[in-house]
Structure formats: C-alpha cells, structure tokens
Amino acid sequence: MFLKKSNSNSNTKNRAVSTMSALMLSGAVIMSAVTLSGCGRAPVTLNAKTFILEQGNSMPTNASIYVKGAGDELAKCVVNTDSVDYNTVGTYTAEIVHPDKTLKIEVKVVDTTAPSVELYADEFSVAPGQSLLLTDVLKSVSDNASVTVGFADDITRADADKQLSDSITFAEAGAYNSEVCAKDSYGNMTVVPIVIMVVNDSEAPVLSGVNSTVYATKGNPVDITANVTATDNIDGDVTAGITADTSAVDFNTEGTYAASIFVKDGSGNEARADVTVVVQDASASLNSGSEVTINSDFDSYSSEYVPFGFGSEVDENNRPTGLQWYINRFGKYTTDFIQPESNYVYLTMDEGYEYGLTEGILDTLKEKNVKAVFFITLPYAKDNPELVQRMIDEGHVVGNHSVTHPAAGLSTLSVEQQINEVKEVNDYVLEHFGYQMYLFRFPTGAFSEQSLAIVQSQGYRSVFWSFAYRDWVVDDQPDVDTSLQNALNKVHGGAIYLLHAESTTNATMLADFIDGVRAKGYEFGYYSKVD
C-alpha cells in the first residue's frame, strides 16, 4: 500500500521564493531610497578634526588639505575661515562648505616662534663693580607676543628655568660668559651668548671737536657742545652724556665769559674742557662812515675801469691779501671789500633772475637763524614781489643790484645812466614795498672811482666780497661736496661771502655750510643801516 507523499518540499520552495521576492522588493526600495537621497557614501570627509596654524599665518584655501573625496566633489568645496583670528593665539572653528554638506574643523592658532633679538655687539667691557645695563647691550627685540628680556642669572640652567635681570655686575676683573635671553608669553625663548670683559678703568673719556673759543651774537645763546663728541676706552661712545656749564655767561651783554664742557664714563672718570665764550654785537663793526665828501661834479672822479679780483693768496688768518690794494685805494668811500677781523662772517646772495631756489634758501636761513643780504635787480623786484616781501618780513636786507646788470660793468655807462641804474631800483622798491634800500653791489664787481662816488651820492654803501665761487653758470654747476669744502676751507673772520641764489649747488649745500662755519667757531653777522 502506498501512501501519498506530501508536497512539503514544494511548499518550502514556494515560501523561499516568496521570501526572496519580498527581500528583493525591499532591497529595491532601499536602493531606490539611497539613490534618491544621496545618503549613502559621503561626498567628502575630514582628513583630521584639528588643524594647527602658526600665529600670523593664513589658512590655505585649498579644500584638499582639510577633506578628502573625489576630485569633482573637492572642487565644489569652499573653505570658510571668517571666524579665525590668525593673529591671536586660540581655538577657532573653520568650515568646509560642500553643496550637500558642511564640515566643521577645529583650528588651533599657536605661537611656536621664538623672539628675534639683535645686540649691539657680542662683547662688552665694564669696570669692576660697574653694572652693564640691558639698554647698553640690547639693540632690538621683536615678537608677536609680549616678551621678557634680560641677562640670564645662571647660564647653566635650562632655558625654562632662567631668571632674567636688566643689569649684570662683576666685582673682579676678568672675562665672563653670559647670555641675553628673551622669553615670550608662550614659553618660546631666544638665547644669545655674550662675553663681558671686566677691566680696571681709571682712564677718563676723550672730548673731541671742542672749540676753545665760541662766539655768540648778543641776545642769542649758543650751544657750546655743538659738534662735540666723547669716547671712552670702556664705554665707547659717551657723547650722549656731555653736559655744559654756561651759568656764568650773560648772552645779553657783550663780554668774555668762562664756560666748561663735561662728560663722565661709567666708572666715574671725568673729562673737562674749558671754553671761552665771547658775546659780541654782530653789527657793531659796520657803522663806519666815509672819509670822502661827495661833490656833484662826477666828472672830477676817475672813470678808469677797475676789475675786481684778489687772487688766492691769504694771510695767517686766511684773509685774502689781494684785497688790501682795494682797501688802500678805495676804502675811503663807503665801501666794504671785507669786514674787520672778527669771528663773524656775512652772507650775501645775488638775485638777477629767479630759478625757483629762493624759497628753499629762505626756509634754510629761517631754520638756521641767519640773516643775509639779497641783492636784487629791478626785473627781479617786479617779477617776484612775494619773495621780496618775504625777505623784508623775515629780517633780511634787500640790496640794490642795478636795473639791467650791465655785463661790461656799471662804470662803462654814462654818469646819467649809472645814476638811473641805482635810482630806478631804489624808487621802485620804496614805492611798492615801503623799504628803503641802503646797500649796493656792483654787477660783475667791476667799478671805477666815479662809480663809487655815484653810488655813495645816492645814499648807498657798496658791498663787494672776500669769497666767491664759480656758481653763476647755471649749466655748469660745481660739485656740491667740492663746493662745500672749498667754501669752508676759505672761511675767515670778517668774510663777506658771495653766493648766487640761481645756483642749485648753493641751495643744496647751504644748511651744511652754515653748520660748518659754526663748527669752526664762527657766527653769522648781519648788516644794519648806517644812520
């Protein structure tokens, strides 16, 4: 008898098929969901959660530094660092922005850079018991953070343990190794080794550039330490420590006074220089009159042409000897070829035309407190009223330099023409500026006895010069340094300097020239009207 076999395998198979079908259907739904949502694999992911950045540096903008992913996905990323302060140590958050996702990264701004230290030298000298100050050693220190700097108390200690001070002292002579250390607020340190030579010091500093006699214009105190320097065998340059004692000098009263200059080194050794201060009235020697009474018959005076030139020979006081011939023959007129020997020099400028330099010259004279004489022609007065008025307002003398500046010399003109050359300039300046001129300079320096008489008859004093440089050829200017040295080498007491305001050389060197004259112990005098 056969029993009917159950179809259990078939049912099981059918159930398996049904189950598989359900799973496949479910999977399809899931896959579909992933595809639609994009929530499967992230388009980009962080390389690291934290990024370390040195203070002062900017974060790179290349997203691949911070995240990884496909190239096309990386290209979609933007690095946002708006909340990061690059210059301040701290922890900040930056963002890597992708169209589908924003990732945050921690940014730590740190300071691991040691301070920058510069010293004046690597070896220093002091006397036993003399403190070497940090300011004597340290030229500069810089860092992004606050810095503590000083001498290390013990060079054998670890850097972190060093105690710092602003001075160091050794009792005994010898050579000592030390350190200058700079620590910032984040523990970074720079250590610079130095050698300190401790030597016995009994030598005083040396003063240089002292003028044993200094001349001052009444009412104008002078610095007797100007251009004086001091050096010491141990301390080096101690010029900053120079002091002066002028308590016994009355700068408002003419006379001769005693003064002193002092300087001490770090060991207390003192150098002293005695200085004689002579206070004078700079205009006192100018009030001399003429020995000649001028008559109206100008034909009675010699019209012989006299060129002006005195050669290069000088006496023991550097005064041109060739001027004596002019003084002997023509000094009886109201005429200055040179001023009497003194410690004053007189600055004069000839102005035929304006080359754009006078304003700067006036600025320099104002800065240096020097009064000059500006000899102007009539065209100059008409074309440059503002400059002429400034000359007058700032206390300079405006002198007469003729109407036409005849190249052959004033004496080559007729008597009437010579008178007009003087009078027309005089009248124009008086009418338009309310200023009475009283000094005259002959064009080219050439003159005659007749010309001197004519100029004097018009109420003028003729002013020549004891120094002039070839500075009037605009297109052939002398070298500035050469010109300056030549002018200073020729300085002499009572000098009348002739410079031309049309010379760029003179305009450039003027300030240094004034300083150089004063460094030689001279001062600038000024012309005052003779009543």
CB 150 within 8 A of CB 136: no
Q: How many CA atoms lie within 13 A of 176 on its CB side?
A: 24
d(CA 108, CA 50): 7
| Both tokens assigned to 248 | 């016994």
The closest of 239, 259, 237 to 247, measured between CA atoms, is 259
CB 387 within 8 A of CB 409: no
d(CA 525, CA 220): 12
The contacts of residue 35 (CB under 8 Å, 6+ apart) are none
Q: Strand, coil or helix: what is 438?
A: coil
3-state SS, one letter per residue, for 379-395: HHHHHCHHHHHHHHHCC
Q: Amino acid identity of 327?
A: I
**Radius of gyration, CA atoms only, the chain:** 44
d(CA 327, CA 357): 33
Within 10 angstroms of residue 449's Cβ, the number of other Cβ atoms is 20
**In the block, residue with structure tokens 């008559």:** 295
For the annotated catalytic residues, the residue numbers are 350, 500
| Both tokens assigned to 155 | 């060079």
DSSP, residue by residue, 65-90:
GTEEE-HHHHTT-EEE-TT--TTS-E
| Both tokens assigned to 522 | 């001279």
d(CA 261, CA 357): 39
